[in-house]
Amino acid sequence: MPMTITEKILAAHAGADSVMPGEIIQVDVDLALANDITAPLAIEVFYKLGTQEVFHKDKVALVPDHFVPNKDIASAEQAKTMRLFARKHQITHYFEPGESGIEHVILPEKGLVVPGDLVMGADSHTCTYGALGAFATGVGSTDLGVVMATGQTWLKVPPTIKLVYEGTAGPWVGGKDLILRALGLLGVDGAAYKALEFSGPTIKDLSMDQRFTMANMAIEAGAKNGIFEPDQITKDYAEPRSSRKQVCFSSDPDAVYERTVHIDVNSLEPQIALPHSPDHVRPLSKVDPVRLDQVFIGSCTNGRMEDLRAAADILKGRSVAGDTRLIVIPGSPDIYREAVRDGIIETLLDGGAVIGPPCCGPCLGGHMGVLAAGEKALSTTNRNFVGRMGHPTSEIYLSNPSVAAASAVLGRIGGPGEL
């Protein structure tokens, strides 16, 4: 029976020859992930189950990144709950600040997710790992607690929407624009309960960093997972990072899709998501030159090496506008180190940026750049819901890192072409 890559990975983890959309299956999980916000509840569930040990101490990843370094006593207590659990159960993949970073940046970096894996994470952006040709989806803490105890969960096999990107992207257009364009077409529930498969000639040349950005935002269309078929670019990234068996699945030519959406990128401009929804997308030229109080470059969406490099390319020899603040947060210590070594951090500092420690930062309005009433921000993050980054009357626009850096220099929304 012909299957999509998503169906093949699910079948392999259900011990079945094939699966069909709509079928409810029990699957074995390769990696269970939680962070400092979702782990405490999952740990509570784990103990309620009466379990003594996690299903596999190498297959649980606990990453403090949301409110770490801790912003207050309450968040410190939550991080402590996770830390003590990790020690007690000798969790191999628990990381303290210094080694830790944003969960969805460091797990692929450390080779903890490889092609063909099935990952369940108590964080909605767990779908990021689909960039590696893995099935990865977000769940709540109760589901995760059960996975930590049993190594298994249930899933309903999703139908797949295939996105076919065609053409060559122009200057200042990258993975962020490709996914924002798709969100504009699909809407915030356009792929609800479904798999999003990214394909087409444009994708073949995309770097892993760009692919992570795209898979990361599949959830913004309501999708269960976003996925790329692994190719040489995937292998070059994943093979040196892990000695685990890597299985590169691909969709059969006659696999059945719920629908196929073609996206022409030849004439695609940088895309901006306007307040207050990631599907409220316009091309940059159709967006008002909104004055900005803050620009943020970072997050599990755009906190990787290429993103920082793109920002530094714009900032080189330029300065952030007087009335605008620029916050840059490298997604991991490795990225931070490389950015220091390559002079990227110096360029950003010289341009007037403040650099934060690897963590989620202001993306979810927790700390390190919370917005005041009425403030307007441009951010390379994934969500611009009401109050997401601070006060409910603040406004968030989403863009790629080049546009964000250019806008920080201009003090308003604008493109690198205007500099």
Partner 1 sequence: MKCEGKVWKFGDDIDTDLIIPARFLNVSDEKSLAENCFADVRPGFAQNIGPGDIIVAGRNFGCGSSREHAPIAIKGVGISMVIAKSFARIFYRNAFNIGLPIVESEAAVDVISEGDWVSVDLEAGTLKTENDSESFVIQAIPAFMREIIRAGGLVDYVKQRGLK
- Contact stretch for partner 1 (CB under 8 A) within 82-90, 139-147, 235-243, 335-343: 139-147
Which conformational region is residue 354 in: left (phi greater than 0), alpha (psi within -120 to 50 degrees), or beta? Answer: beta
Q: Is 37 in the site for partner 1 (CB under 8 A)?
A: yes
Nearer to partner 1, 100 or 384 (CB): 384
Q: Is 139 in the site for partner 1 (CB under 8 A)?
A: yes
Q: Is 143 in the site for partner 1 (CB under 8 A)?
A: yes
Distance of closest approach, residue 40 Cβ to partner 1, in angstroms? 5
Contacting residue, 21, 64, 116, 138, with partner 1 by CB under 8 A: 138
CA–CA gap between residue 42 and residue 61 (Å, rounded): 13
Q: What are phi and psi of 139, to 5 degrees?
A: -140, 175
Which conformational region is residue 198 in: left (phi greater than 0), alpha (psi within -120 to 50 degrees), or beta? Answer: beta
396: amino acid identity, one letter: I
> Could you tell me the CA-to-CA distances from 142 to 46, 196, 311 in Å, in that order?
8, 25, 39
Nearest alpha-carbon partner for 419 in 325, 346, 315, 326: 315
Q: Is 150 in the site for partner 1 (CB under 8 A)?
A: yes
Buried b (16+ CB within 10 A) or exposed e, 138-169: bbebebbbbbbbbbebebebbbbbbbbbeeeb
- Contact stretch for partner 1 (CB under 8 A) within 35-43, 228-236, 251-259, 327-335: 35-43
Distance of closest approach, residue 385 Cβ to partner 1, in angstroms? 5
CA–CA gap between residue 123 and residue 51 (Å, rounded): 23
Site string for partner 1, 327-356 (x = CB under 8 A): ------------------------------
Nearer to partner 1, 111 or 357 (CB): 357
Query: Which helix (H) or strand (E) covers residue 81, if one does?
Result: helix 73-88
> What DSSP assignment string belongs to 111-180?
T-S-TT-EEEESSGGGGGGGGGT-EEEE--HHHHHHHHHHSEEEEEPPPEEEEEEES---TT--HHHHHH
Q: Is 67 in the site for partner 1 (CB under 8 A)?
A: yes
CA–CA gap between residue 27 and residue 136 (Å, rounded): 12
Site string for partner 1, 115-134 (x = CB under 8 A): ------xxxx-x--------
Number of residues engaging partner 1 in binding (CB under 8 A): 53
Contacting residue, 154, 205, 239, 259, with partner 1 by CB under 8 A: 154
Distance of closest approach, residue 330 Cβ to partner 1, in angstroms? 21
Nearer to partner 1, 127 or 310 (CB): 127
Nearer to partner 1, 73 or 232 (CB): 73
Q: Is 71 in the site for partner 1 (CB under 8 A)?
A: yes
Nearer to partner 1, 34 or 315 (CB): 34
> Could you tell me the CA-to-CA distances from 39 to 28, 87, 113, 195, 383 in Å, in that order?
20, 14, 19, 26, 22
Contacting residue, 58, 96, 189, 236, with partner 1 by CB under 8 A: 189
Contacting residue, 4, 6, 78, 271, with partner 1 by CB under 8 A: 78
- 3-state SS, residue 306: helix
Site string for partner 1, 192-231 (x = CB under 8 A): xx----------------------------x-x-------
Contacting residue, 4, 6, 38, 324, with partner 1 by CB under 8 A: 38
Distance of closest approach, residue 306 Cβ to partner 1, in angstroms? 26
Residues 366-405 that bind partner 1 (CB under 8 A): 366, 370, 383, 385-388, 392
Token pair 């797990």 is found at 107
Distance of closest approach, residue 308 Cβ to partner 1, in angstroms? 24
CA–CA gap between residue 107 and residue 286 (Å, rounded): 37
Alpha carbon distance, N-terminus to C-terminus of the chain:
54
Q: For the chain, how big is the Rg over CA atoms in Å? A: 20
Nearest alpha-carbon partner for 33 in 6, 11, 65: 65
Contacting positions for partner 1 (CB under 8 A) = 24, 37-38, 40-41, 44-45, 48-51, 66-67, 71-72, 74-75, 78, 121-124, 126, 138-143, 145-146, 149-152, 154, 188-189, 192-193, 222, 224, 277, 364-366, 370, 383, 385-388, 392
